[in-house]
Amino acid sequence: MLDLKYIRENIDEVKENCHYRLADVDIDRLVSLDEQRRNLQQELDAQRSQRNAWSKQKPTPEQVADIKANNEAIKQGEDNLAKIIEQLDSLLLAVPNQTDAAVIRSLNEEDNPVLEEHGQPVELAFTPKDHLALAEQWQWLDFERAAKVTGSKFYYTSNDLVWLELALIQYTLSVIAKHGFQVMTTPDLAKTSIIERLGYNPRGESTQIYNIANNDLSLIGTAEITLGGYHQGEILKGEQLPLRYAALSQCFRTEAGSYSKFAKGIFRVHQFNKVEMFVYCRPEDSAQEHQLLLAIEKEIFSGLEIPFRVIDHCTADLGAPAARTFDLEAWLPGKPNQDGQAGDWAEMTSVSNCTDYQARGLDIKYQAADGQKGLVHTLNGTGLALTRAMIAIVENHQQADGRIKLPAILKSFIPVDLSSMFFA
RNA sequence: GGAAGGAUCGCAUAGUGGUCGAGUGCGCUCGCUUGGAAAGCGAGUAGGCUGUCACAGGCCUCCGGGGUUCGAAUCCCCGUCCUUCCGCCA
């Protein structure tokens, strides 16, 4: 969340930011509620001060009536204040992070600039299949039986796709660990309040989050949640920063309201594995850490010999907690583009600098030996979203007979003899 | 799932109705001391909100919420988490 004091003192900037980020928040009402809150609190503080003064010693019987009247007023004031704070908080949670100055301001989410391209889309001498056709050929995915067990947008994987996924996980973790990250596994559920404090909306019709009934837990949509909540309420020592973590977790998303002609297959599903990176750092280091996370993502995709490009989210496409976000988009030979021809870019990763927005909500600070202290900055980035990465691999490395050429870097992570579906 | 005990200022602890926002030890910071250090001595050492040009001042926080009381770290109720024992279990 943003600092109320900052909002109060920068009303125009905050309003403009909300506008460009398509966030419909009534800032005037928020500021007015804040003023009411402060006025009421001052009144209340004076009454409490009076009570404290009286209670320093045993009162005379005549005073007791005054004291009781004052206590009644305090109770009234507290009730009123609680109501105002409740409204204030729900508005405050809806205000997105202030945007990095380098980000393109646009109301159209198609306006994400392309920053760089790596590798060339492969020229295939045959008509490429999409991942679904390949999956059918090798019986990699079973949607029909998953539908019986869990409904649509779930899947079973089998055969060599399982080994490919496990190899990708180990490959990804090994690349990240090489950069000094602590690798972890985390719970796949988190308290709903944690999700909210990280800047996501866990409730309501449009939420992407599954809530657990009769409980304040939700299924996580990303390990960003559990890695971000990890240090909630802590004061980190400045010299131990940056703290760099990576975790493998299951991710669960309701995908409420998402329609797409690309809905078939495992590009957009309710449950998938993902390796996520998360960094806590000093404010002055966050831009540099952002570049580090991006560099690691590029290293991972380069190693897999997949053509990709880097895009920079414009304001319309930024998630609430982010000040700036880069995506890696991979080339998918089997994905139809807007003109219906085979081959298009598709989102593979996302890496965000959330500055102090999440740290303020979760109360995560640092204190350095040099006396410097304040809220940390947090960053998160996809290591590898397994379903999408597998699509990219099988589509880019497919051969005319439907077999897949395994990227050389994965060979050492496959502990079994591959069947004829893959070859090295 | 059942029973018992616990949660206090970075850490360890003291504290059963007003003298407690809170003592002590450790740690940390600054100063004295020293050739330098250790030891010793002295001082300081939570956060949030509000307020002020800046001070001052006020309010809140002893796990969270509610209650009793003129007054709660302290008494009562509910919840969360931790520990131990029993049961169960991959």
**pLDDT (tens digit per residue) in A363-419:** 888 887 666 778 899 999 999 999 999 999 999 999 999 999 999 999 999 988 876
Q: Tell me, which fold does domain A114-423 have in CATH?
A: BirA Bifunctional Protein; domain 2 (3.30.930)
Q: Which nucleotides of B are covered by protein (CB under 7 A)?
A: 10, 18-19, 47, 49-51, 58-60, 70-72
- What integer pLDDT is reported at residue A53 of this predicted model? 85
Confidence of residue A259 (pLDDT cuts 50, 70, 90): low
Show me where the domains of chain A are located: 4-93, 114-423
Q: At what angle do helices A286-303 and A160-178 cross, to 10 degrees?
A: 140
Q: Tell me the whole-structure pTM to 2 decimals.
A: 0.93
Mean pLDDT of A239-261: 84
CA atom of A49 to C1′ atom of B18, Å: 16
CA atom of A90 to C1′ atom of B39, Å: 57
CATH superfamily of A4-93: Serine-tRNA synthetase, tRNA binding domain (1.10.287.40)
A261 pLDDT above the threshold of 60: no
Confidence of residue A342 (pLDDT cuts 50, 70, 90): confident
Confidence of residue A296 (pLDDT cuts 50, 70, 90): very high
Whether the CB of A271 is less than 7 Å away from nucleic strand B comes out as no
As a whole number, the mean pLDDT across chain A is 91
pLDDT (tens digit per residue) in A125-160: 899 999 999 999 999 999 999 999 998 899 999 989
Whether the CB of A4 is less than 7 Å away from nucleic strand B comes out as yes
Task: Select which of A276, A350, A360, A395 is catalytic.
Answer: A350
CA atom of A187 to C1′ atom of B89, Å: 20
Task: Select which of A8, A48, A268, A282 is catalytic.
Answer: A268
**By mean pLDDT, which of A45-54, A219-228, A389-398 is the weakest?**
A45-54
A180 pLDDT above the threshold of 80: yes
Mean pLDDT of A51-79: 85
Amino acid at A216: D
Confidence of residue A304 (pLDDT cuts 50, 70, 90): very high
Quick count: other Cβ atoms within 10 Å of Cβ A193?
15
- What integer pLDDT is reported at residue A13 of this predicted model? 94
Mean pLDDT of A28-43: 93
Rg of chain A on CA atoms, in Å: 26
Name the more confident of A371 and A41. Answer: A41
Which window residues (371-410, chain A) lie with Cβ within 7 Å of strand B? Answer: 373
**By mean pLDDT, which of A1-15, A57-71, A354-368 is the weakest?**
A57-71
Name the more confident of A267 and A206. Answer: A267
State how far the Cα of A205 lies from the Cα of A292, in Å rounded to an integer: 36
Whether the CB of A162 is less than 7 Å away from nucleic strand B comes out as no
- What integer pLDDT is reported at residue A234 of this predicted model? 84
Strands A365-367, A342-353: pairing kind = unpaired
- What integer pLDDT is reported at residue A263 of this predicted model? 66
Share of chain A above pLDDT 90, in %: 67
Q: Which long-range contacts (CB under 8 A, 24 or more apart) does A270-273 make?
A: A270/A150, A270/A151, A270/A153, A270/A154, A271/A154, A272/A385, A272/A386, A272/A387, A273/A165, A273/A169, A273/A248, A273/A249, A273/A385, A273/A386, A273/A387
CA atom of A257 to C1′ atom of B14, Å: 59
Mean pLDDT of A160-170: 95
A262 pLDDT above the threshold of 60: no
- What integer pLDDT is reported at residue A183 of this predicted model? 95
Q: At what angle do helices A27-54 and A61-93 cross, to 10 degrees?
A: 160
Whether the CB of A54 is less than 7 Å away from nucleic strand B comes out as yes
A260: left (phi over 0), alpha (psi -120 to 50) or beta: beta
Whether A324 is catalytic: no
A424 pLDDT above the threshold of 70: no
State how far the Cα of A290 lies from the Cα of A309, in Å rounded to an integer: 17
Whether A8 is catalytic: no
